[in-house]
A and B are shown apart, each in its own frame.
Chain A
Amino acid sequence: MDAGTGVRALSNLLMAEGHADFTFLFTHAHWDHIIGFPFFKPLYSPQSRILIRGCPLEQGNMETLLSRVMSPPFFPVPFESLRAEVRYEEHCDGPLVVDSMTIRTIPLSHPNLGVGFRFDEDDRRFVFLTDNELGLRHHGGRTFGEYVAFCQGADLLVHDAEYAPEEYPERRGWGHSTYAQALDLAEAAGVKRLGLYHHNQERSDKAVDELVARCRALVLERGLDVKCFAVAQGWADDV
């Protein structure tokens, strides 16, 4: 999901593991979600098969939008001359099935559209909702109740938590949530683990730790059964 600059290091790992088939899903086309795409190494291997799936009504045509990252004068290798087999498949209706995972989407409440994803495999559920403003309904966005229904019973919810509550009023409408709003969602949906995500550019490691501490204090105060943590670069776990 998404191809921010983190996708470069991921692709090194995937190449080393010998993968050749990839499916890309994109939340939306803001730069920080696509700017790493040209550094996804399998693009330059004729053995790779890369499938981009998405619904143009929800996020635009991702193939066209991605090709802009690899167009002159910004990047030396044009999208059209990639050695990998790159295909775009529109998928708008019903869940998407990839291997043993069933994937559903929900529109984000964010400027310029986008989607969040819910992954179901066996009896486990993971929801990824970044760039989602729970405190304001943007054009195309959904109600708090609809996000609750989407996240219902998730074992892991990774949600936009860019702001502390005191930072939010000045940034209302910018398309992001506070950790407290993310926790409200986790509580209402009976989520087991909440991963805070989309850390603000100005938030140092120590400051992120402080937000986590505040989130956990809220959990205690309300007597909730939610484990709150901050997603870190390199963090991985089984759901």
Chain B
Amino acid sequence: MRVRFWGVRGSTPVPGKGTVRYGGNTSCIEIRSRSGDLVILDGGTGIRPLGLELAKSDPLTCAIFITHPHWDHIHGLPFFAPLFIPGNTVDIYCPPDPIHMRGAEYILENQMIYPHFPIRRAELRADVRLLTLSEGQYVEVGDLTIGNVLMNHPSMNLGYRVEGDGASLFFTGDHEPFTNVYEPEDSEHAEYQRLVDRRTASVDEFVSGVDLLIADGQYSEEEYATRVGWGHSSFGHALDFARRVGSPELVLTHHDAIRNDAELDAIDAQLKKRPEAVGLHVRLAYEGLEMMLGET
């Protein structure tokens, strides 16, 4: 299984002189099985250059799994060239929007509308299917199996576990550790803590044993302290998560839009020196990072 990062930013694209090496594109990860099955996690702006590369090898069959429908995970989709080419088959999976009772159609049909975009969904030439995922549903894409688990974010965010070729990985999407919303002296604290512990354990169990954990690691510990509830993890949260699930490899992504290359270099170096990183291979994701998992 080959993994390649096409977009590693959170919130919004930040192209410019300061972000050339890590890249300014928003979330997108390409996964290939040994026999060529193609799974794409998230459709941030990183999916645009990926699409251009894929357009060289039509006809194409691929499946895109959206962690959640915030812009930075979907706004590259209208620029994914394979959607416009007849003969291609593209399945796009997305969790529902449970608050407004909307499904996967919404994420594409509401981007490809006048007056925001000149081409409408009905005009796409590829065979495009928009499929709403249920929590816990498994999908097979050739040799790859994709399972999901509900994470913790202000939007319904599914974390994806991808298995195939004797290897496995997990991508959190946007995730903040489950935390108790009550103070220890509140009467509801104990009961809520049991819920927090149960959900943490069930996610850990689902992720357990992966060869690679790709995790939200947007904030430093100091930054996180003032952003509790925003739906993202600190570097330390990602390290803890990797240790709990026994992943030998940890890649942090969803870099904050404020960070330039030099700052990310410094974070990467500090991460490697932390005591929690002992025995872990940890690094920050960058555009173009490629990894091989399992036997080649």
User: Which residues of A are at the interface with B, using a C-beta cutoff of 8 A?
Assistant: 5, 8-9, 28-31, 34-36, 38-39, 59-60, 65, 68-69, 72-76, 111-113, 174-175, 201-202, 233-234
Contact = CB atoms under 8 A, between A and B. Distances in A.
Given A9-B16, A36-B12, A73 B115 contact: no
Contacts of A35: 12, 71, 75
Given A5-B15, A36-B12, A76-B70, 15 more contacts: A29-B115, A30-B117, A31-B117, A39-B257, A68-B110, A72-B97, A73-B156, A74-B70, A74-B74, A74-B110, A75-B71, A76-B155, A76-B231, A175-B118, A201-B48
B178 interface: no
Per DSSP, chain A at the interface is loop
B244 interface: no
29 contacts: A5-B14, A5-B15, A8-B12, A30-B115, A30-B116, A30-B118, A31-B78, A31-B111, A31-B116, A34-B116, A35-B71, A35-B75, A38-B12, A39-B11, A69-B71, A72-B99, A73-B70, A73-B99, A73-B100, A73-B156, A74-B69, A75-B70, A75-B71, A76-B154, A76-B155, A76-B231, A174-B118, A233-B15, A234-B16
A135 B170 CA distance: 50
Interface string B67-94: 0111100110011000000000000000
B12 A5 contact: yes
A60 B115 contact: yes
Nearest to B231: A76
Contacts of B231: 76
B106 interface: yes
B13 interface: yes
A59 B115 CA distance: 8
A31 B164 CA distance: 37
Contacts of A38: 12, 71
